[in-house]
Amino acid sequence: MISFLRKICCWLAILLLAACTPPAVKFNNTDLTGLDYAADFQLKDHTGKDRTLADFRGKLVVMFFGYTQCPDVCPTTMAEMSAVMQKLGTQSDQVQVLFVTLDPARDTQALLSSYVPAFDTRFLGLYGDAAAIDKLAKGLKVFYQKVPGKTADSYTLDHTAGSYVFDKQGRIRLFLRHAQGPEPIVQDLQKLLNEK
């Protein structure tokens, strides 16, 4: 009888603990929480300043990989993130958008400094040598491949179209799907901003 009562007490304790556990946060986008993607980097921003992921501690970081001569995905994504920042209002001060070029041969500091801030003056374009870009892209499982054009300089790049979100501690949290509209992204970013 005592053994039976102990079992009942143990089950009740487990049920009480389960009831006290907060429900898991449900995101609109792909939850990457806990994955060990390698996201540290040492690149320059479009003002020429050296940057690492640690520079943005205390803010959410949205990182997109693209290139300035991209005909569709990149400007669409940047415009969408601009709309996200507007919808976030004052909370947008806690979000940093980073545009990482996959085309360091053509995307110079001067070109990035005119392209990226045109979408939002707070956005930063990041560049570096091909090896540094490749290391970061591979660490985040970003696909990209050069597609030859009619001339040596008219190539395009096929590349991952989504963006990555890091929380205020620099941990990878989300993969944002391309062209979903700003509202689902705003909702997900607000959930991360409200985390304690």
DSSP per-residue codes, 16-77: HHHHHSPPPPPPSSEE-TT--------EEETTS-EE-GGGGTTSEEEEEEE-TT-SSHHHHH
20 is in an annotated binding site: no
Which structure tokens are listed for 196? Answer: 């304690």
Tokens of 157: 């790049």
Of 56, 66, 126, which is closest to residue 96 (Cα–Cα)? 56
Residue 46 is assigned to a ligand binding site = no
Its sign, for the CA torsion 85, 45, 191, 137, is: positive
What is d(CA 103, CA 154) in angstroms, rounded to the nearest whole number? Answer: 12
Instruction: Single out the residue of 116, 175, 166, 111 nearest to residue 143, CA to CA.
Output: 175
Distance between CA atoms of 166 and 189, rounded to whole angstroms? 10
Any residues with CB less than 8 A from the CB of 59 and at least 6 apart, and which?
94, 95, 96, 168
159 is in an annotated binding site: yes
**Residue list for the binding site:** 70, 74, 159
**Residue list for the binding site for Cu cation:** 70, 74, 159
